[in-house]
Amino acid sequence: MITSNFPFPILFRNSHFVIINKPAGIPVHPNRNHQKSIEDFLPLLSRRKDGPWLAHRLDQDTAGCLLIALRKQALIEAQKCFSQGKVTKIYWAIVQGKPKQDRGIIENFLSKQYNDNKKWFIKTSPTTGQKAITTWRVLGSNENISCLELYLHTGRTHQARVHCASLGCRIIGDNIYGASDHHSLQLFNRYISLPLDPVIETTATPPKHMVTFLKALSLI
C-alpha cells in the first residue's frame, strides 16, 4: 500500500479498506470549480487497477469518517452493506438552541426541490420522496447551542441538516437550511461501522473548527 504524501489522517486500514478523517471544505468528487477532491489523492493509497474507490460520500462541508475501498470486490461488499442499511453512521452536530426533548426519532420523506434561482434543496414530506430516518439525542447544551448525536439509519442527501432544521435547531454554519452566521458547517461523521469479516469500524476526532463549540459544551 502506498501512503507517502497522503495528506489526510488515516483512521483505519487493512488490505481491503482505508477510513480517513476527511476535512471540511474539500469535495469527495471533482466539481465544476476544478477544486482538488478526495478522489484526486486516491492513487497515493494504491495503484492497483481495481481500486481505490470511494465506498460512499460526504458533503463538501462535512468532515469525518470516509470509507475507501482498495479493491473492487471490497467496494461491492461495502456497497451491499450500505444498500441493506447495515452500516452504522453516527454524526455530531452543533445546533442553535435546544430541542424540546433530550432524544427522539425523526421519520419522514425527503425530496429534491428547486428555488426561483434554480438552486436545489431538500424538502421534507410526510408521504412523497425517499424515506429518511434519524435517531438523535442531546450530548450537551448550554441552552444557546447544543451538540446532537445523530444516528442516520438512512443516507439521504442533506439528511442530517434537514432533520436538525425540522427540530427547530438548525446546524450552525448551514447556509442552506439555516441563517448565514459566518461559521464553517458544524457537522462531522463521528463514527462508522460495517459488519464485515473482520468488522470495519473507527471513530474520528472532531475537526478543528468544531473544537471551540465542543469545549464550550464540556464535551472535550
Active site residues: 59
The pairing of beta strand 187-194 with beta strand 200-203: antiparallel
C-alpha grid cell for residue 150?
445523530
Residue 169, CA distances (Å) to 3, 33, 188, 197 in order: 40, 31, 16, 38
Cell 453516527 belongs to residue = 90
Query: Collapsing DSSP states into helix, strand and coil, what is residue 14?
Result: coil
Residues in the chain: 220
> What are the start-end ranges of the H helices in the chain?
38-41, 72-83, 159-166, 208-216
Cβ atoms of 194 and 78 within 8 Å: the answer is: yes
